[in-house]
Chains A and B, each alone.
Chain A
Amino acid sequence: MTQLQTGQPVPVHSAPTSTPTPTPAQPPGTALGLPPSGGSPVPRGALADAADRVRSAATTEPGRLRIIGAVLAALVVVFGTVTAFEITDRASAADDVVSRSQPLSADAASVYRSLADADTAASSGFLAGSGAEPAGVRERYEKDISLASQLLIKAATHTDSSSESGRQIATLNEQLPLYTGRVETARTYNRQGLPLGGAYLRFANEQMSKVLLPAAQKLYDAESSRLDRDDEDARFWPILSIALGLLALGALGWAQHRSYRRTNRVFNHGLLAATAAATVVLLWLAVGHTVARSQLDEAREHGQKSLKVLNDARISSLKARANENLTLVARGAVLTDDGKRDKYESEYGAGMLKLSDGLGRAETLADDDEGRDPVKAAATSVAEWQLRHRAASTTDKSGDYDGALDKVIGAKDSTGESFDQVDAALAKALAHEQREFTRAARAGRDALGGLPLGAAALGVLGAAGAILGINRRLSEYR
């Protein structure tokens, strides 16, 4: 370390008044320790001893310099360490967002969707009649159930069984076999031509809407709030690091100013290097975390919000479809509580309204064509669905039940076809938003990458610089 001091090492004002002798046995590199500077040799309490030594050291310039050097080095090291710890914490929260809580929340949404879809498929199969149950409907039901089971197993391995999510997963795992058992019983009786099959299906449907779907909803809510927590954790400003950074920079600035006033020398290389290191860490910290935050913001605003709206829209479309089926299963005799309208017809209407509303919001939230196009396609299919539903409804009201049935569950030009189109378009939009989310959230997490290690390394470097800088001054007293 070369010195670039402008003047001679002349102690200027306030020269040490008493005992100007620096400690003789002081190797230049160990200024960190506070060696006794000729203090009382009588061994007393260690604390009182140390306090005594500090007090006596503070009375001489070299002693003061040693204290200053130690404090500066400590500040810079602590700053680096705390930054490393805090950012590791933020980065691991961001990593949780990307690789654990968001996928789990998406999985929980899928569990809900698969269950609701399975139930709709079961009722469609029932409507078609066991003799005419289309193979696709059966396949769809089986695919839904196996997807739900797989996702539940996956969720269970990532979840503490005593948590809210764990409890809901346990309920779902316990109830799902009961549900499928009832659906199978229903099929068996249907194939024997007995109406008991329909009663089993009603019972299964009731279990789905009273037990399974609420549990899946709670699971989704719990996973979503865990995602929000992780997201908040990742976005929380590293206040302590920033405060320590400012404190360290302030202390370094003060030390250099002090040195300037006393020696008239502007630059102390060691202190300058320490300042630079601390500044780099602080800037890196501020910029890195700001970038991470903004990426996480983007993931939340453009990804997660879209995902939620699209998931809700998909579930609304499923509910509307289930109610549309039920209008035909119940043959229009179950009325709303005020007794004025068909219950399932009005619930279908409410579901479609929510669906259109959700698609409108999803289109606003979509930030590129790739996200917007499938949403638009879904909206077109929804319009067609509504037209076809109206036609089916008119047919049913005129007393042509079979005609209406064909318009609802038929293979071509039916509302079922429209529903499938809506579902496929929403699946596409969801996949796109999921990619967007993952990309932005990954970028957020990666913005913090290297910072913990860098902060630690720079902290050590900075501390070394501070010590060397102070030692340079100390050496002038030898």
Chain B
Amino acid sequence: MPDDETGSGTESQAAAGAGARAGAEPAAGSAARRESRARLDPRASRLRGRVSFRGWGGVAGMATACVLTAVGTLLPLSQGAVSHLPATGHSISMVEPAKADACTSPEASLTPSSADGPNILAIKKRGKLIVGVDQNSYRWGYRDPATGSLKGFDIDLARAIAEDILGKPDAVIFRAIPTNQRIPALNNGTVDIVVRTMTINCARIKQVAFSTAYFQAGQQVLAPKTSKITGYNASLKGKRVCSAEGSTAYEELEKNSFGAIFKDKHDGKPADDDVLTVSNQLDCLVRLQEGLVDAVVTDNALAAGQAAQDPTVELKGGKPFTTEFYGVATKLGKDDVVRRVNQVLEEYRQTAWKAAYQDWLADDLPGISGPPAPKYRDG
């Protein structure tokens, strides 16, 4: 396995770094990666069967990406007439609360711009971009235990943003943050941005600012293959369900848990048992394997990462029961950063996104044709 992982590590850096790799290359690269993984992975045959399908998915994805890019580049033009410049970010953020109250599409973000605002200049002066990431989300942001380095889809994106701002993909300081620390870490200045499978929603846009969406996901139930649980439905009744503290999954369970048990007795206190609500979704898989819980609710993207580590569990119910978007978060008011990240995403969606998807996600989350189209709002 170490050979394989080192290979994919350099690959991912190349993907994040260049971003200009031809479409054929990542496919070949990930095919080689699949081959090498196949030596150890019993699921290899299943994966191989999917290759041809994915090839067509890739073409469709490219087509979609082209359309989205066109929309993305045209939209700012149409708004350019209003001529809101990022330098006047403060006045824009003041408009936000009115927008947030309506909140029909929280994923709509500020228009892209590569102008240097005060916050971007501060990052440049420091010479490093401080990014809050996860080190437990397999394929998204995880620490490779063999080498100790961080890798994954989110890590690639964070490096791409660093490269755009600072010229080097390595000019990043990664800070691993627990799920419920994402918003505090931004607000107290521990990190500049958070790239950590963070869902954009109406409650959160009042606390932090988000970029445009870079991935579409949804909540899903994960349980052992032998379990009688069939999805996010009445089959959860009386079952012990695990979720991460401060996660969308927990919020959904609070809305409707179908009679599942999902809270620890001492939540939020020092005596917290950390069995049903834990600091990271991956901790749920440990509890599931040890028989302390019956099911896990988390994003399908993360649940797929869990299933990839334990072949005895699976995602239940076919499709996710929510639709949500991941965005890059910053502190409220750092509009220049938001616009800059949106600018990076504009380019990233065209080729690098696809490469990163192939590298990290295609195996466990097949059939996604491309990134969600960016939505912008006035201001």
* A joins B in a complex: yes
**Which positions 392-449 of chain A face chain B at CB distance < 8 Å?**
398-399, 401-402, 405
Q: Is the CB of B145 within 8 A of A195?
A: yes
Q: Is the CB of B147 within 8 A of A196?
A: no
**Which residues from A are CB-within-8-Å of B282?**
195-196, 198-199
Q: Is the CB of A333 within 8 A of B309?
A: no
Residue of chain A at shortest CB distance from B177? A333
* A331 partner, pick from B138, B174, B287, B306, beta carbons under 8 A: B174
**Which residues from B are CB-within-8-Å of A127?**
148
Q: How far is the CA of A196 from the CA of B144 in the complex (A)?
A: 10
* A333 partner, pick from B137, B138, B185, beta carbons under 8 A: B185
Closest Cβ of chain B to A477, distance in Å, is 86
**Which residues from B are CB-within-8-Å of A131?**
2, 146-147
**From A330, A399, A405, residue with most partner B Cβ within 10 Å:** A399
Q: Is the CB of B145 within 8 A of A189?
A: yes
* A196 partner, pick from B5, B181, B286, beta carbons under 8 A: B286
**Which residues from B are CB-within-8-Å of A199?**
136, 280, 282-283, 285-286
Q: Is the CB of B283 within 8 A of A197?
A: no
**Which residues from A are CB-within-8-Å of B143?**
195, 198
B128: interface (CB < 8 Å): yes
Q: How far is the CA of A463 from the CA of B136 in the complex (A)?
A: 84
A88: interface (CB < 8 Å): no
Q: How far is the CA of A405 from the CA of B147 in the complex (A)?
A: 12
Q: Is the CB of B176 within 8 A of A195?
A: no
Q: How far is the CA of A330 from the CA of B136 in the complex (A)?
A: 11
Residue of chain A at shortest CB distance from B136? A195
* B178 partner, pick from A192, A195, A334, A405, beta carbons under 8 A: A334
Q: How far is the CA of A199 from the CA of B143 in the complex (A)?
A: 11
* B309 partner, pick from A191, A196, A334, A335, beta carbons under 8 A: A196
A130: interface (CB < 8 Å): yes
B97: interface (CB < 8 Å): no
Closest Cβ of chain B to A182, distance in Å, is 8
Residue of chain B at shortest CB distance from A338? B188
**Which residues from B are CB-within-8-Å of A339?**
184, 188
Q: How many A-B contacts at CB < 8 Å in the complex? A: 105
A202: interface (CB < 8 Å): yes
A129: interface (CB < 8 Å): yes
B126-168: CB near A (< 8 Å → 1, else 0) gives 0010001001111000111111100000000000000000000
Given known A196-B285, A198-B135, A199-B136, contact A333–B145 (CB-CB < 8 A): no
* B136 partner, pick from A191, A198, A333, beta carbons under 8 A: A198
Given known A193-B2, A399-B172, contact A335–B181 (CB-CB < 8 A): yes
B82: interface (CB < 8 Å): no
A317: interface (CB < 8 Å): no
A128: interface (CB < 8 Å): yes
**Which positions 268-305 of chain B face chain A at CB distance < 8 Å?**
274, 280, 282-283, 285-287, 290
B190: interface (CB < 8 Å): yes
* B146 partner, pick from A129, A203, A398, A399, beta carbons under 8 A: A129
Given known A131-B146, A198-B145, contact A193–B5 (CB-CB < 8 A): yes
**Which positions 94-145 of chain A face chain B at CB distance < 8 Å?**
126-132
Q: How far is the CA of A339 from the CA of B186 in the complex (A)?
A: 11
**Which residues from B are CB-within-8-Å of A198?**
135-136, 143, 145, 282
* B145 partner, pick from A194, A331, A398, A401, beta carbons under 8 A: A194
B98: interface (CB < 8 Å): no
A332: interface (CB < 8 Å): yes
* B135 partner, pick from A193, A331, A402, beta carbons under 8 A: A331
Closest Cβ of chain B to A161, distance in Å, is 28
B352: interface (CB < 8 Å): no
Q: How far is the CA of A23 from the CA of B202 in the complex (A)?
A: 117
Closest Cβ of chain A to B1, distance in Å, is 5
**Which residues from B are CB-within-8-Å of A174?**
none
**Which residues from A are CB-within-8-Å of B138?**
194-196
Given known A196-B285, A200-B286, A401-B174, contact A126–B145 (CB-CB < 8 A): yes
**Which positions 315-343 of chain A face chain B at CB distance < 8 Å?**
330-335, 339-340
B40: interface (CB < 8 Å): yes
Q: Is the CB of B142 within 8 A of A195?
A: yes
Q: How far is the CA of A339 from the CA of B287 in the complex (A)?
A: 28
A206: interface (CB < 8 Å): yes
Q: Is the CB of B2 within 8 A of A333?
A: no
Q: Is the CB of B274 within 8 A of A197?
A: no
Residue of chain A at shortest CB distance from B141? A195
B341: interface (CB < 8 Å): no
Closest Cβ of chain B to A203, distance in Å, is 5
Q: How far is the CA of A294 from the CA of B35 in the complex (A)?
A: 77
**Which residues from A are CB-within-8-Å of B120?**
none
Closest Cβ of chain A to B311, distance in Å, is 12
**Which residues from B are CB-within-8-Å of A399?**
128, 171-173
**Which positions 126-175 of chain A face chain B at CB distance < 8 Å?**
126-132
A190: interface (CB < 8 Å): yes
Q: How far is the CA of A282 from the CA of B90 in the complex (A)?
A: 93
Residue of chain B at shortest CB distance from A397? B173
**From B1, B146, B172, residue with most partner A Cβ within 10 Å:** B146
**Which residues from B are CB-within-8-Å of A334?**
177-178, 181
Q: How far is the CA of A196 from the CA of B137 in the complex (A)?
A: 9
Q: How far is the CA of A340 from the CA of B190 in the complex (A)?
A: 9
* B191 partner, pick from A132, A191, A333, A405, beta carbons under 8 A: A333
B252: interface (CB < 8 Å): no
Q: Is the CB of B132 within 8 A of A202?
A: no
**Which residues from B are CB-within-8-Å of A200?**
286
Q: How far is the CA of A331 from the CA of B133 in the complex (A)?
A: 10
Q: How far is the CA of A3 from the CA of B199 in the complex (A)?
A: 112
* A203 partner, pick from B148, B173, B176, B286, beta carbons under 8 A: B286
Closest Cβ of chain B to A83, distance in Å, is 54
B251: interface (CB < 8 Å): no
A203-215: CB near B (< 8 Å → 1, else 0) gives 1001000000000
Q: Is the CB of A196 within 8 A of B135?
A: no
Q: Is the CB of A405 within 8 A of B148?
A: yes
B310: interface (CB < 8 Å): yes
**Which positions 41-75 of chain B face chain A at CB distance < 8 Å?**
none
**Which residues from B are CB-within-8-Å of A335?**
181, 184-185, 188, 190
Q: How far is the CA of A202 from the CA of B4 in the complex (A)?
A: 26
Q: Is the CB of B145 within 8 A of A203?
A: no
**Which residues from A are CB-within-8-Å of B137?**
195
Q: How far is the CA of A446 from the CA of B109 in the complex (A)?
A: 85
Residue of chain A at shortest CB distance from B170? A399
B175: interface (CB < 8 Å): yes
**Which residues from A are CB-within-8-Å of B40?**
192
**Which positions 12-63 of chain B face chain A at CB distance < 8 Å?**
40
Closest Cβ of chain A to B2, distance in Å, is 5
Q: Is the CB of A190 within 8 A of B146?
A: yes
**Which residues from A are CB-within-8-Å of B190?**
332-333, 335
**A-B pairs, 10 with minimum CB distance:** A190-B145, A333-B175, A333-B177, A195-B142, A331-B176, A399-B173, A129-B148, A131-B146, A199-B282, A399-B128
Q: List 14 A-B contacts (CB under 8 A).
A: A129-B148, A194-B309, A195-B136, A195-B137, A195-B144, A196-B309, A198-B136, A199-B136, A199-B285, A331-B176, A333-B185, A334-B177, A340-B188, A405-B148
- 5 more contacts with CB within 8 A, not counting A193-B144, A331-B174, A399-B172, are A129-B144, A191-B145, A193-B5, A331-B175, A333-B175
User: Taking beta carbons and an 8 Å cutoff, which residues of B are in contact with A?
Assistant: 1-2, 4-5, 40, 128, 132, 135-138, 142-148, 171-178, 181, 184-185, 188, 190-191, 274, 280, 282-283, 285-287, 290, 306, 309-310
